[in-house]
Structure 1
């Protein structure tokens, strides 16, 4: 017999400092019109003195409070990120110390922008194995540490932030039930979005200088095509699997990459604009943090109401993509 998994609490945290498009004009060869028409982004939050761990901690504390849960009740901590404070130890392990807890299962997960949806599926599997599990999942990124501020095609896209959720077992009738999650990946076009430095294929050597390989490199046109096609296909698949269609979706919450992708996915799925949650204009693309920030903000603002069927869909480097259905 399957065990049902439920979202019990949500929270997000972003840095206070904001870079507007006008701010970027001061040191990047770009302008507000160029950024807005191509991406829909008006501003992004950028770390100043904070680290990825600080963002994770802020989001996690809010999610725990929303779930009315103490940190020590957690059994697992899963953090989706590729911009953690350091390769080792994992950000999840260090978070345990910050939360004042120990002897929990902790691990980081790398699936780029799809990381949070991947973490949902990992949490569901763990809860199915042990219904007493209480799991914190978080998507967090400090992407501005990995952008080339001289590359106007990429640096305008990204921002920093974190979003978190608490998942536990529950009954079929309780709100927040994760109906299903589908995941997929394809390594063939992975080089369309890369950070090549620090991996074993591109090791550091003493005296090496910083180069373009230290930062995000992306073939925007190819990423756009893959993103729209993959997000639409996996969303259609998960709806069909449960005998549902676009009319049954109360809220479509896509990865907040840019407005062109969001608009194209919504149109291809046949979901009206008024049902599509958008906050990319305020935060930019925060990668693994994108879905949980949007989910927490949509719930907090009342965009997601009790009883709503919410469709999450995402796409990221790897290439990875996924979709999840949640009944709130």
Structure 2
């Protein structure tokens, strides 16, 4: 959908990373590999893990609070929490996050599109604002992937970290700085098995069934994920650029889901965008699933390089499988 009237305009942003820093040497020793082996395959140098008592909602509350504070603590009408690691299988985590932020009573719900969740959340939020029934919302991406991976698994253990990022969006014009001008969303359930945590829900029940520890872990077929991540993020990005009438030279910044450095560079090169114009922070925070794009945006703000009004393409690929892309301009942040 391309918005011709009201859409979402990003007016505030916040991020949260846990205190516990996990360097490559700690993971390399446990897996019996070298630090260079991890670095060469992922481009990741460190990641952040929750403490055993921490949760997805804890991170979401902190990121949401910072986002609201960044734009003067506006009243919000809804909260969308993009996550694939909710606090509980039931109920949803978002209502508790809203209550802890001091806004019980608003619309609040979880959205699970895995690593594509933040763009999905922005798109849904834009639709709510365009309806005229809502004025301001909070979109949070928060995932605690360290709680569902097997830390002895060479495929997943080096790649993932925990974190949360949030944006405040209000109804406005797509021509404003920070305006979401267009988006595209997609999925293919035929590829369900390339990224999956099989146990604990209705397909593989937890109630009354002897537990299988392996079924509680997130599993991933790395080579297939690489293949489809690059192709789907490229296709989605080119579709959005075509809709906007943007050539590769018109795009100032590509902000991809921070899966790993090789995927980010390959996606930029396949689109035709210089990787130097791809915002990359996966080396410092690892793959944080739905939190990765807002965390990358915050890092870019701190770098001071992007300018208000710069043309930006967001793109992501996640389990399900899902993919997404969006076109926007760089917001005008007041901090």
In the alignment, what sits opposite 2:59?
55
Q: Which residue of 2 aligns with 1:108?
A: 110
Q: Which residue matches 2:276? A: 274
Q: Which deviates the most, 293-302 or 277-286?
A: 293-302
Asked whether the equivalents of residues 256 and 284 of structure 1 are also in contact (C-alpha less than 8 Å), the reply is: yes
Say if 2:79 is the partner of 1:77.
yes
State the match for 2:18 in structure 1: 15
TM-score by length of 2: 0.94
Deviations 1:119-168 (A, max 9, x none): 01100100010264211001100000000112111111100000000111
Q: Distance in 1 between matches of 2:264 and 2:54?
A: 29
The ranges of structure 1 where at least 4 consecutive aligned residues each deviate by more than 4 angstroms after the TM superposition are none
CA RMSD of aligned residues (A): 1.4
Q: CA deviation at 1:218?
A: 0.8
Of 36, 40, 44, which residue of structure 1 is paired with 2:39?
36
Kindly indicate whether the alpha-carbon contact (under 8 Å) linking 1:131 and 1:168 is maintained by their aligned counterparts in 2.
no
Q: Which residue of 2 aligns with 1:202?
A: 204
In the TM superposition, what is the alpha-carbon distance from 1:89 to its structure 2 partner? 2.3
Distance 2:207 2:100 in 1: 33
- Residue 123 of structure 1 corresponds to 125
Match of 2:161 among 159, 171, 178: 159
- After superposition, the Cα gap between the structure-2 partners of 1:65 and 1:34, relative to the gap in structure 1 and judged at 3 Å, is same
Cα distance change on mapping 1:188 and 1:207 into 2, 3 Å: closer
Q: Which stretch of the first structure deviates more once superposed, 309-318 or 197-206?
A: 197-206
Q: How does 1:229-244 map to 2 (within 5 A)?
A: 229-244=231-246
Is residue 2:211 matched to residue 1:219? Answer: no
Contact in 1 for aligned 2:44/2:284 (Cα 8 Å): yes
- Structure 2 counterpart of 1:24, from 1, 7, 27: 27
**Counterpart of 1:228 in 2: which secondary structure?**
helix
Could you tell me which of 177, 180, 183 is aligned with 1:178?
A: 180
SS, match of residue 302 in structure 2? helix
Question: Deviation of residue 173 (structure 1)?
Answer: 4.2
Q: Which runs of 5+ in 2 are unaligned?
A: 331-335
TM (norm. structure 1) is 0.96
Give CA-to-partner distance per residue, 1:89-120, whole Å, 9 cap, x none: 21110012211222100000000000000001
Give, in whole Å, the separation in 1 of the partners of 2:283 and 2:159.
Answer: 10
Distance 2:208 2:17 in 1: 34
The separation in 2 between residues aligned to 1:12 and 1:303, in whole angstroms, is 18
- Kept after mapping to 1: 8 A contact 2:174/2:181: no
Shift of 1:208: 2.5
Tell me how far 1:206 sits from its aligned partner: 4.5
CA distance in 2, matches of 1:227, 1:132: 34
Once the 2 structures are TM-superposed, how far is the Cα of residue 266 of structure 1 from its aligned partner? 0.6
In 1, are the aligned partners of 2:27 and 2:157 still within 8 Å (CA)? Answer: no
Distance in 2 of aligned mates of 1:92 and 1:53: 8
Match of 2:333 in 1: none
Aligned pairs, how many? 326
Structure 1 unmatched ranges of 5 or more: none
Q: Does the 8 A contact of 1:19 with 1:46 survive in 2?
A: yes
2:72 to 52, 68, 78: 68
What secondary structure is seen at the aligned counterpart in 1 of 2:189? coil
- Secondary structure in 2 aligned to 1:257? coil
Residues 185-234 of structure 1, C-alpha deviations (whole Å, 9 max, x = no match): 00111111100111101011447334221111111111111111100011
